[in-house]
Structures are given as C-alpha cells and as structure tokens.
C-alpha cells in the first residue's frame, strides 16, 4: 500500500489475461476438469469475469483512478455511473504495459434479477492479503449496478473462514448441495445475500467497503 492506495486494482478480464487466469485456476482448483473455457466465456453475455491485478511501474490507467469523481455524488450513483456498456462491447483495449500481473479473478453469472458468483480464485503466493474479499466486493458492486436483487454463491461446508467472510457481507445460509465437489464429494453450503438494492443493505455494504479501505488501502476498480 502506498499513500493509502492498495497495490492491486480490479478490471474486466481480457483475452491477454487468459494464460495467467488458467494458471490461477490450476492453483486454486487443481482437480477441475475440463478447465474452464475462459476464452469462450468472455463472449458469454450472461457472465462477467473480473480480475485483480498489480499494475506495472507506469501506474494505474486513468480510467481506474476515479480521481475526477465528484465528491457530491452519492455512493450508489458513482457506482452506477462507473459501470458502462454492461451489455454491449468490451471496453477500449488497454495498452500491453498496463496489463500487469493478474493475481486473482471472480466469475459471476446473471439471470433475470439474480447474480451467482461461480468462483473466486487468488494466486497461491498472494493469499491472505485480502484479495478474495476485494474480488467478492467487486462482484457484489457489479451485481448492484446490474440491478440484481440478490447474490448467491456456494462454499465448501468445511471452509469456515469463507463462511465468516460471506456472512459479514450479509450472505445467509439457505441450503445445501449434497456431494457438490467432485474431488472429495464434499457438500456445498448455499449462501445468499438478498435485497442488495435496499438502502439498508447498501449502507451496510458501503460501511464494509470503507472499513476494508482503512485496513488495506483504497482499491481502484473498473467493473466494465
């Protein structure tokens, strides 16, 4: 962290990231077979893939800085305004030197008014730095901007640390998927955050984001 700014940022996944993303998937989910067809998924209009990355020495692109945002705008309006072309073309291509090191990714599917976080993965050497929480926050922000009413995800029943993190962000335990994980037939806990567009949830979420910034530094994010 430098001057209160986190060393990592969020942006949409790009074709140029795919070799790094595949490496992270192998580290996080070594028994997944076949591998996720990320190239094809980037063209899936129902899915959005975001990456956490470490920018190059040239710094974060201006589109990620957010330093021109008006402080008088409401938090939710700033969030909504920052998400452009959600259903249209991909954002303008970043210059190669801005790609940096991809350190994690989050995959989210959108169906009607529901968002489903399919996977969150972080590079093995950079875990326990709050990157999983950063990716989850970005997925929830994107879900809000796309006007989803709720977000659902699955977690291994044995992953107590993940349960605690998700519950902190308002996810409640709503069910169980028996023998969901093929590597060891472990059950999956289904967790849902409902009413994410409500003023009460948005106030809670904003407070959690600000607390994260206090602990880790401000994380610059572009969601689309």
Q: Where in the sequence numbering do the catalytic residues fall? A: 154, 166
Q: What's the CA gap between 143 and 190, in Å, rounded?
A: 18
Interhelix angle 199-216/75-82, rounded to 10 degrees, is: 80
φ, ψ of residue 63 to 5 degrees: the values are -65, -15
Burial 125-156 (b: 16+ CB within 10 A, else e): eeeebbbbbbbbbbbbbbbbbbebbbbbbbbe
**Cβ neighbours around 122 below 10 Å, total:** 23
Q: Are strands 150-156 and 114-122 parallel, antiparallel or unpaired?
A: parallel
Q: What's the CA gap between 63 and 9, in Å, rounded?
A: 11
């Amino acid at each position: 962290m430098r001057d209160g700014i986190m060393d990592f940022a969020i942006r949409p996944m790009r074709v140029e990231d795919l070799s790094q993303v595949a490496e992270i998937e192998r580290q996080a989910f070594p028994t997944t077979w076949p591998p996720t067809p990320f190239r094809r998924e980037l063209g899936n209009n129902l899915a959005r893939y975001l990456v956490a990355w470490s920018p190059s020495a040239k710094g974060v692109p201006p589109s990620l800085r957010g330093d021109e945002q008006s402080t008088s705008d409401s938090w939710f309006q700033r969030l909504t305004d920052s998400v452009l072309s959600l259903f249209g073309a991909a954002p303008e291509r970043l210059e190669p030197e801005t790609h940096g090191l991809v350190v994690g990714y989050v995959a989210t599917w959108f169906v009607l008014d529901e968002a489903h976080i399919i996977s969150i993965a972080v590079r093995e050497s950079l875990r326990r730095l709050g990157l999983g929480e950063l990716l989850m926050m970005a997925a929830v922000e994107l879900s809000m901007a796309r006007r989803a009413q709720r977000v659902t995800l699955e977690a291994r029943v044995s992953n107590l640390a993940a349960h605690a993190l998700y519950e902190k962000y308002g996810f409640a335990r709503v069910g169980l998927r028996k023998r969901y994980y093929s590597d060891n037939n472990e059950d999956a806990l289904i967790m849902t955050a409902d009413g994410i567009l409500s003023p009460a949830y948005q106030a809670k979420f904003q407070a959690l984001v600000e607390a994260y910034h206090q602990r880790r530094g401000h994380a610059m994010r572009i969601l689309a």
